[in-house]
Chains A and B, each alone.
Chain A
Amino acid sequence: MLGAGEFLDERHVLVIGGGIAGITASLELALCGVKVTMLEETPSIGGRMIQLDKTFPTLDCSSCTLTPKMVEVALNPNIELLTLSSPVEIKKIKKGFNVTIKKKPRYVNPSLCTACGLCSDACVMKDRIKDEFNLYLSKRSAIYIPFPQAVPQKFLIDDKACLFLSRGRCKKSCIEACGSNAIDFNEKEEIIQRDFDAIIIATGFDLYEAAEKAEFGYGRLNGVITSIEFERLCSVTGPTGGEIVLNGKTPKRFYFIQCVGSRDRQTGARFCSRVCCMYTAKHANIIKDRIKDAQIFISYIDVRAYGKGYEEFYKNTQELGVFYIRGIPGEISKSEDGLLVRVEDILTNEIIEVATDVVILATGVRPHRGTEKLLDMMSVDSDSYGFITVSAIKSSQTNIDGIFVCGMASGPKDIADTVASAGEAAASCLEYITM
């Protein structure tokens, strides 16, 4: 047990995932004196939350609440942050684990890079590579920073997009532009081996692939987008600088469809994704705030406004003039001036056709891709959807002693529930490593 004489600073925990769950768990552990190594497979921590413009129900600026925590992680002396890193082998040793970590090369020396951005400006592939952070709605260079508030605040080279790294030939204008000599094309992948006393899985989630629901026309019809794409359109760091503009025009009519890929046996997800009712209401609020004469419809099955302040937020959204239609549309088609949504309004029993400029699909959540492989590596059990199985009494405990889970990796949750689950995981982890 913990207590006087227990040297917590000799304990070392691995946290896999740098989203709000991983960040919260790491900071709690670090505050208690435990050494933490955080692995993040993308170039920056922040996860999904940093892609959000605002959070419900307070309509707080997401970055404003998250970036200070991201910086705290970077500055905390007890936390070692390894980005572009993921585990490739995990072996159980006595009470802990020996983990082999693969660290992909950044091709930019972090101790020299000042994040000035001149390399990106000079890159021959400038504005030619689809930007994944903005859901491919904008383009970037081969040498880039994922978003302005990235932690670590360093650039990196996309080796698949970079001409020199993928084809061996480029005039390397980036090297010329860099005033700090930070670019290093010779950087190699690193293999790091470490022993850890425990592991916390915080790998988060991905969104459902909307194209699978062919009847909604995503990928086929112009004007059908997903919620996360809409979120990027609203964000000041997004492809349009926060202006809700699609195809060069400001849409006036919006149609949201809830439960895309949730509560749907057909898509293999019977579960409720728990956040979409609220984030859609949030989107409706954002639109009403920025586009004065916007017309908004939301198709739903049940509105899950269950959290603190959620019901009031939902009610308020309705009072703003947003129309909630019970019933999911059967068909979306192209019309003369936009799109036509055909839906049976169950409350009036009529089939109606709603003309709209944009259709936004509130896609459900799925366990982060790549989690399956990771769980295999550790023999951690998951349910039929791929979420890690846990009990309601010990919601961070997996079937393997010493491996814990928090956040969406163990099932859909909103940010507040994620933070609480991460705190619980830190508590359980602390108990384990000091027993």
Chain B
Amino acid sequence: MSDKKEREPEIVGFACSYCSFKASEMAGSLRMKYPENVRVIQVPCSSRVDPAFVIKAIFEGADGVFVSSCHPGDCHFIRGNYYTRRKMAALKEMFKAFSMDGKVKLFWISAAEARKFIEKITNMYNELREEKNAGKKN
């Protein structure tokens, strides 16, 4: 029994207060549109994101998870985002082993980069949507 209707992926993202979350707010002020199934959780620094959160999100049904952080060198907490990079790299390696590496992404987005924020999450959404509807087993 095939489900003819297109299935929409659900994406959860973590955005740091000082950069990426501000970009997401600016995207809102500029009325830039992005898929409704993308929802953002605010964290003080991207380094607050425990890899366990990413795994939990996948367990609970998220098709994709992103962590969005300040550009390297620009972190308000000086080095937090370097730890984020290392953690996400390790997480991606693990996910790769399960052929799930497309489900986890790391973005560098500064407070003024609203447009980039929209582009990144929309691309991620479209990729996952294609995958989800291609019948690919995960």
Contact = CB atoms under 8 A, between A and B. Distances in A.
Nearest to B31: A59
Interface in B20-69: 29-31
Interface in A384-401: none
A413 to B, nearest CB: 23
A60 B31 CA distance: 10
Interface string A22-66: 000000000000000000000000000000000000111000000
Interface string B75-90: 0000000000000000
Interface in A54-109: 58-60
Contacts of B30: 58
A59 B31 CA distance: 9
Contacts of A60: 29
A315 to B, nearest CB: 14
Contacts of A58: 29-30
Nearest to A289: B31
A59 B32 CA distance: 12
Interface in A371-392: none
Nearest to A60: B29
A59 B29 CA distance: 8
A299 B96 CA distance: 60
Nearest to B30: A58
A58 B30 CA distance: 7
Contacts of B29: 58-60
A319 B29 CA distance: 19
Nearest to B29: A58
B30 to A, nearest CB: 8
A60 B29 CA distance: 7
B29 to A, nearest CB: 6
A321 B29 CA distance: 22
A60 B30 CA distance: 9
Contacts of A59: 29, 31
B28 to A, nearest CB: 11
A379 B31 CA distance: 49
Contacts of B31: 59
B75 to A, nearest CB: 26
B8 to A, nearest CB: 26
A62 to B, nearest CB: 14
Nearest to A58: B29
A59 B30 CA distance: 8
A60 B26 CA distance: 11
A58 B29 CA distance: 7
A234 to B, nearest CB: 16
B6 to A, nearest CB: 26
Nearest to B26: A58
Interface in A106-131: none
Nearest to A285: B31
B94 to A, nearest CB: 42
A410 B30 CA distance: 32
Nearest to A59: B31
A60 B28 CA distance: 10
A144 to B, nearest CB: 34
A58 B27 CA distance: 11
Interface string A270-299: 000000000000000000000000000000
A59 B28 CA distance: 11
A414 to B, nearest CB: 18
B2 to A, nearest CB: 36
Interface of B: 29-31
Interface of A: 58-60
5 contacts: A58-B29, A58-B30, A59-B29, A59-B31, A60-B29
Q: What are the 5 A-B residue pairs with the smallest beta carbon separation, nearest first?
A: A58-B29, A60-B29, A59-B31, A58-B30, A59-B29
